[in-house]
Structure 1
Amino acid sequence: MRSNLIRTTTLAATALLAAFSLTACGSETGSSESAKAGAAAPAAHQAVKQSPPPAATAAPEEKTTDTGGTSKDTAAPPARSDGKNTPDATKRTGSGSATKPDRTPVTCDGGNTRTAVTTVSRPLNHLLLTLTNTGDRPCYAYYAPALRFDDAQAAFPVLDDSKPQAVVTLDPGHSAYAAIGLTGEPGAGPSPREATRLQVHFSARSGEGSTGTPVSLTLPSDTYWDDNGFVTYWQTEMADALTY
């Protein structure tokens, strides 16, 4: 009977130990699973926290403003200028003064002058050409005007004795004069013929041919001319022209 009691006690102890062993295993298993779950949770939280924001994947070009309030583009530095082509630099040219108008003389012609033809009482059978500078620059009245009456083929003769000592220069608004002797001595050539139009051409600086724009004038009524007439060189004074 004692033997049965020992045996029963041994079995009970064995069963108790087994129960403790199962409890310990369950505790260790639960603790292990909990530990794994606890370790995984911070990792998942950390992954979400470190993900870049959507804006970071397509950030716009950055611009900053310095302390002076000037906007700077970090993508490209501002262009440099030596100041030669800026509007302000242009205005400062010539010590800041306004550009002076060009006063270089040009050749007088029909584009920058006004020409008029009039009758005179003395000398007889004479006309007077008046050339006035209408431009804004001085002009040179070279030599004598080249004249053609109506449809004449040849230019009217020029009186060489009337050549002035210097080229006539006309400032804007000023005038030069040339006299036209319509006929020569009576009976010295063909009979005078009537004319209604006068073409005036302007001599070139070289003295060869004409230059610029010619003008066409209406002659006074009862104007007659012949091949023995003449025209003078341009003169600065009306009286000088009419002495021939």
Structure 2
Amino acid sequence: MNPATRTSRGGWKSCLLGAATVTALLTSAACSPSGGDGKPTARPGAPGATAVAACAPVDVSIIASAQDQEGDGLHFLLTLTNTSEKPCKVFRYPLVLIADSQRLSTEVKDSTPIPWTAYETIAPGKQTYAALLQRGSMDVLQPETERTITVQLQDTDPGSRKGESIKIDFPGTSYVCEGDFSQITHWMTSADLALHFINTS
């Protein structure tokens, strides 16, 4: 979207305030583990600190929910729940394939958490979210097309894979983009913030 020309101080002020609000939300989401108890966590290496492992597929459940009017099928929210009894970390963003696409959804780079931490720590029973945007030419899902979204968790190194991929149901639409231009946000503890990045794309 091309930026509009600003002709008043008030317009620039509104723009700056909006940017500051998103930055504050990102900082809050990145700096607060998904425990919800408000207690500070021990620094790695500090006395009493316990190493937190990367989430494995066996530790989590993931569902996808459509965010559009019935049949539109462009915006989706992935919700990951830690179903284990220990905290675990999800790194960066999920590696996603839509239906039978052979190309991974690309990262929404603007959704990288501030201060650019590579992971979210998810307490047992808590959730984290990533928003998925379908982009490109739309095709009708044929009966033989697998109506799934394939989600692969990343390990500690960028692009690395943790365990097997997870197949989840493709929700609420009869259409699918070819997949070449779909986008996925980083994991974050606010569903509204995750959706913000694809609603303004």
User: What TM-score results when the alignment is normalised by the length of structure 1?
Assistant: 0.52
Residue in structure 1 matched with residue 113 of structure 2 by the alignment? 164
RMSD: 2.2
- TM-fit CA distance, 1:148: 0.9
Is residue 97–residue 105 contact of structure 2 (8 Å, CA) maintained in 1? yes
1:231 correspondence with 2:187: no
Structure 1 runs (4+) deviating above 3 angstroms are 121-124
Residue in structure 2 matched with residue 202 of structure 1 by the alignment? 153
Identity %: 25
Residue in structure 1 matched with residue 63 of structure 2 by the alignment? 116
Residue in structure 2 matched with residue 107 of structure 1 by the alignment? 54
- TM-fit CA distance, 1:233: 0.5
CA distance in 2 between counterparts of 1:203 and 1:141 reads 7
Is residue 128–residue 187 contact of structure 2 (8 Å, CA) maintained in 1? yes
Structure 1 unaligned blocks of 5 or more: 1-102, 185-190
Instruction: Name the structure where helix makes up a greater proportion of residues.
Output: 1
CA distance in 1 between counterparts of 2:151 and 2:165 reads 6
Q: Cα distance 1:134–1:240, how it changes in 2: closer, same or farther (>3 A)? A: same
**What secondary structure sits across from 2:169 in the alignment?**
strand
Structure 1 residues 183-207: Cα deviation after superposition (integer angstroms, max 9, x where no partner): 15xxxxxx22346111100011111
* Amino acid paired to 1:229: S
Residue in structure 1 matched with residue 77 of structure 2 by the alignment? 128
User: What TM-score results when the alignment is normalised by the length of structure 2?
Assistant: 0.62
Task: Select the residue among 170, 185, 188 that pairs with 1:219.
Answer: 170
Q: Cα distance 1:225–1:109, how it changes in 2: closer, same or farther (>3 A)? A: farther
* Amino acid paired to 1:240: L
Number of aligned residues = 137
CA distance in 2 between counterparts of 1:222 and 1:124 reads 8
Task: Select the residue among 176, 180, 183 that pairs with 2:128.
Answer: 176
- TM-fit CA distance, 1:124: 7.5
1:150 correspondence with 2:99: yes
Answer with 1 or 2: which has the greater Rg: 1
CA distance in 2 between counterparts of 1:109 and 1:151 reads 24
CA distance in 2 between counterparts of 1:237 and 1:158 reads 17
| Larger RCO: 1 or 2 (CA < 8 Å, sep 6+) | 2
CA distance in 1 between counterparts of 2:76 and 2:191 reads 12
